[in-house]
Structure 1
Amino acid sequence: MYSRSDPAIAARRRQLASGPLAAFKAFSDSVFADGGLPAKTKQLIAVAVAHVIQCSYCIRHTAAALKSGATGEEIRRSGSRPRCVLARRMHIRRWHSTRTRRIWV
């Protein structure tokens, strides 16, 4: 779904869009800084969201969570619950779609 990032792509991005890239980095740094919630909690939330939306780029918040002081167990827990929610949602959609087909067909 997403192309893999590599150093050449990152260098090209810095060359072509250094302003937007710097603005996004500043925005991201301010979002994940300590504030109303500790940085560790924010990173764990980002890991959970990454699992729900299944974004390969967002999964990288795992390393940031570790750097912020999260343990492996906390990261596992933040990733396992959203997967259960996602599986349940997919099951409900599948059940609903088969049920409505039977009603209308």
Structure 2
Amino acid sequence: MSEPIYPAATRELAAKRRELAPGTQAAFEAFSASVFADGALSAKMKQVIAVAVAHVTQCPYCIKGHTKAALRHGATPQELMEAIWVAAEMRAGGAYAHTMLSLSTIAEEEERHPA
């Protein structure tokens, strides 16, 4: 069997990260706790959003961690899958929308260098 692409998130690696930059780690944890606390959006909704965003950023650690957190906060598998599909559409939509850059560049180049 081949080696995994990403190392497992272990307590030892997390401890090393904390040891190397304890102040930054503490600040990040406080920021994260604040971001994911109930507010105008529920903690559940924030975790569902995080699952969708994690699929766009393609962070396997975030996908796993936020999926678990969303389930703990009461999200259903159906809600998570719908959120993932929204993320997929938005990512594809970005590529679709950016065709305008290529098309306008093609037109500019054709004007500058007629065939």
Report the TM-score, using the length of structure 2 for normalisation: 0.73
Q: CA RMSD in A?
A: 2.4
Question: Larger radius of gyration, structure 1 or 2?
Answer: 2
1:38-57 to 2 correspondences below 5 Å: 38-57=42-61
Query: In the alignment, which residue of structure 1 is the partner of 2:113?
Result: none
Deviation at 1:91, TM superposition (A): 2.7
Larger deviation: 61-70 or 95-104?
A: 95-104
Looking at structure 2, the residues matched to 68 and 50 of structure 1 have their Cα atoms a distance apart, in angstroms, of: 17
Task: Give the unaligned 5+ runs of structure 1.
Answer: none
SS of 1:64 mapped into structure 2 = helix
1:75-90 to 2 correspondences below 5 Å: 75-90=80-95
Letter in 2 for 1:90: A
Q: Cα gap change, 1:45/1:6 in structure 2, threshold over 3 Å: closer, same or farther?
A: closer
Query: In the alignment, which residue of structure 1 is the partner of 2:77?
Result: 72
Deviation at 1:102, TM superposition (A): 4.4
How many pairs does the alignment contain?
104
Deviation at 1:83, TM superposition (A): 0.4
Letter in 2 for 1:80: W
Query: In the alignment, which residue of structure 1 is the partner of 2:9?
Result: 6
